[in-house]
Amino acid sequence: MVDRLKDRLKLVEEMGATPINDSKGSPVEQLKEMTGGQGADKGCECVGYQAHDIEGEEHANMTLNNLVESVKPTGKIGIVGVFPSEDPKSKDKFEKQGQIVFDIGKFFEKGLVMGSGQCNVKAYNRHLSNLIASGKAKPSFLVSHELSLDEAPEAYSHFDNREEGWAKVVLKPGAAKADGRREHSEASKRANAGKHGHAKTATAGASKDHRFKGERWPVGCLSFFRCSGGNNGQIRADRR
């Protein structure tokens, strides 16, 4: 999993996955080194059109083209990052129309397969809820804060600023405001330990705001393999 925020990378490691810190070099090259030059069997684009480099410059095609570079021939790519049909306030002329420049040539040559779109919730929600109810699945380990609905603006501010320990927030409409008190999960406790020399917070692979229909929305997605790609062999791919 590629990220650059230390507390998220630490959490990834605790889950048994392999963290890749892209602030220390190209995530593509790091992955190839780990796999003897072969690349990953599969990859997932979890950022969307607001992927940015370590300097904060936005490049909508970074993660997707990086996946094409990172996944081995005949491998599979999944896209769960958000690519809306238009982004009117984008500075990029292609993004305005819901398009990106995509490495179609290399994608074709490697025989890769791609799937995208929102999850078919109705097909999986009963099975997943049963796994949680039986104790076999425990997604709550990702939750760092449980707050009242009234505290949502404050929570979004902390999360959007990538402050330590703000990994995943659960809002409870019926709960009373805690007057500044926070209920931290194990994930948050681990992150807060960073203040004393342990794990710290991490940045997501997306920029700090969404601009759907001209509005701004905080965002924080874990990302896989992001980096800029060249223009050779590329075409425009329409997000629609």
CATH number (domain holding residue 68) = 3.40.50.720
Judge whether 73 lies within some domain: yes
**71 in any annotated domain:** yes
**pLDDT tens-digit map of 115-140:** 998 888 999 999 999 999 999 999 88
Domain membership flag for residue 191: no
Domain that holds residue 214: 2-120+208-238
pLDDT, tens only, 78-89: 999 999 898 888
**Strand locations in 126-222 (E):** 145-148, 169-172
Q: Which residues of 183-210 are buried (b: 16+ CB within 10 A; e: fewer)?
A: eebebbebbbbbeeeebbbbbbbbbbeb
Q: 239 with 49: CB under 8 angstroms?
A: yes
29-38, 138-147, 198-207: segment of lowest average pLDDT: 198-207
Q: Is residue 75 part of a domain?
A: yes
Mean pLDDT confidence for 171-196: 56
Domain total in the chain: 1
Residue 221 lies in a domain: yes
